[in-house]
């Protein structure tokens, strides 16, 4: 029986998909075959030798030691798009709060103690704002969330300009032809009344919003960040707010540096905090994890290539290896030396790592696994029967 360690509470809609005769869901570390989690920080965790995969019920994987997992042949999954609608709706709330002073108005009205109706009529002029229709929003990142944000902004009558140098074919098919594609990010900065970030956090995107870009922005731009707090340099941001270059900053990532800063609204990381999003993420994570454990198939991995092949034999060999020349030749040579026929094979690579699936005709492998593991470029070998 395979052991699945849940490091966070996971929606029953997902965990109920597990066959109880095949899988045991546990909450204490023993010898798990797989880990499923949401926000639990794994960086200081010793990875057990039994671990084959980690499934993040969400999009961000900053809490998972990706490099360490890759070196051990542990597949890390996430669930891109499963919480996209929930985040899109919160972005809409952010747009409205940044344009209409709703948050400030509510705070003020809650301080009133008498003659409320009359006081409201006198004081409401302090909370005037602007309509979204006719304004231009720049969307940085046109993945699952960015595309949905583009659609809702178009429906609100906004002009939408997008930038994504890593735009996937799948996302490109979903983008409305009404979305203007920026030639470069500087063009987006120059034309946008609102800017919303929907890109992953990595070395190349850290502090992408900083004092160095302020001269490229419209005066009074409203900035929304529902991706990762580290995309914005908070000290530079405060300078931009003081100079009025940035009128508002709405973020789903509170931190000490932004507490009680004027014209900053920090939301307590509610982007995916809907019942529907949690259910969708759990279902997607469980299905990916089970398909990998049972078939060796990889969907939505952040560290190994997507790789799926219909099963053609009882015995399947899965090889995790470095993405260097002649590994496939060495692997097939060892298998053929044992007079075992390879019925079907698929090899895919992603960056420095590669993954090969081989369906073979024999059930008895005669020491093949040990020989394959002895190859310098091989990280791990799994046999599924």
CA-to-CA dists, residue 267 to 5, 174, 231, 318, angstroms:
30, 29, 16, 44
CA-to-CA dists, residue 367 to 182, 278, 305, 317, 384, angstroms:
56, 44, 27, 13, 15
Total residue count of the chain as it appears in this document = 385
Exposed/middle/buried for residue 127 (C-beta within 10 Å: 0-12, 13-18, 19+): middle
Whether 382 is catalytic is no
Q: Retrieve residue 28's tokens.
A: 């204490």
Angle (deg, nearest 10), helices 102-109 and 116-123: 150
Helix (H, G, I), strand (E, B) or coil at 283: helix
- Other C-beta atoms within 10 Å of 328: how many? 15
> 100, 181, 269, 311: which one is catalytic?
269
Handedness of CA 259, 262, 268, 271 (dihedral sign): negative
> 46, 49, 256, 262: which one is catalytic?
256
> 56, 163, 228, 316: which one is catalytic?
228
Rounded CA separation 355/346 (Å): 8
Whether 3 is catalytic is no
Phi, psi for residue 2 in degrees, rounded to 5? -80, 140
The residues, any chain, with a CB within 8 Å of residue 318's CB and separated by 6 or more, are 296, 355, 356, 357, 358, 381, 382, 383, 384
Rounded CA separation 199/218 (Å): 21
Whether 362 is catalytic is no
Q: Retrieve residue 85's tokens.
A: 């609608």
Helix (H, G, I), strand (E, B) or coil at 145: helix
Residue found under tokens 């004027």: 262
Helix (H, G, I), strand (E, B) or coil at 69: helix
Q: Which residues are catalytic?
A: 228, 256, 269
């Amino acid at each position: 029986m395979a052991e699945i360690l849940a490091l966070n509470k996971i929606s029953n809609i997902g965990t109920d998909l597990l066959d109880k005769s095949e899988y045991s869901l546990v909450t204490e570390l023993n010898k798990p075959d797989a880990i499923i989690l949401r926000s639990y920080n794994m960086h200081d965790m010793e990875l057990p030798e039994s671990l084959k995969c980690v499934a993040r019920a969400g999009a961000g994987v900053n809490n998972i030691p990706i490099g360490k997992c890759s070196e051990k042949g542990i597949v890390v999954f996430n669930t891109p798009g499963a919480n996209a609608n929930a985040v899109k709706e919160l972005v809409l709330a952010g747009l409205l709060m940044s344009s209409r002073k709703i948050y400030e108005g509510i705070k003020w009205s809650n301080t009133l103690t008498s003659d409320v109706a009359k006081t409201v009529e006198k004081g409401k002029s302090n909370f005037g704002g602007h309509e979204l229709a006719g304004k231009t929003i720049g969307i940085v990142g046109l993945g699952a969330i960015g595309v949905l944000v583009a659609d809702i902004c178009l429906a609100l009558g906004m002009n939408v300009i997008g930038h994504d140098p890593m735009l996937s074919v799948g996302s490109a098919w979903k983008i409305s032809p009404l979305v203007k594609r920026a030639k470069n990010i500087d063009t987006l900065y120059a034309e946008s009344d609102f800017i919303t970030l929907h890109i992953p956090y990595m070395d190349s995107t850290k502090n992408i919003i900083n004092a160095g870009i302020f001269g490229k922005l419209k005066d009074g731009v409203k900035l929304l960040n529902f991706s990762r707090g580290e995309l914005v340099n908070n000290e530079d941001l405060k300078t931009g707010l003081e100079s009025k270059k940035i009128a508002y900053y709405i973020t789903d990532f509170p931190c000490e540096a932004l507490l009680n800063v004027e014209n900053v609204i920090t939301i307590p990381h509610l982007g995916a905090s809907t019942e529907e999003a949690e259910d969708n993420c759990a279902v997607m994570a469980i299905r990916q994890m089970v398909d990998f454990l049972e078939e060796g198939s990889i969907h939505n991995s952040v560290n190994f290539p997507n790789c799926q092949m219909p099963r053609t034999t009882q015995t399947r060999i899965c090889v995790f290896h470095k993405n260097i020349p002649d590994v496939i030749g060495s692997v097939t040579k060892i298998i053929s030396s044992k007079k075992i026929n390879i019925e079907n094979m698929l090899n895919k690579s992603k960056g420095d790592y590669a993954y090969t699936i081989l369906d073979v005709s024999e059930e008895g492998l005669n020491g093949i696994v040990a020989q394959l593991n002895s190859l310098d470029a091989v990280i791990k070998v799994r046999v599924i029967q």
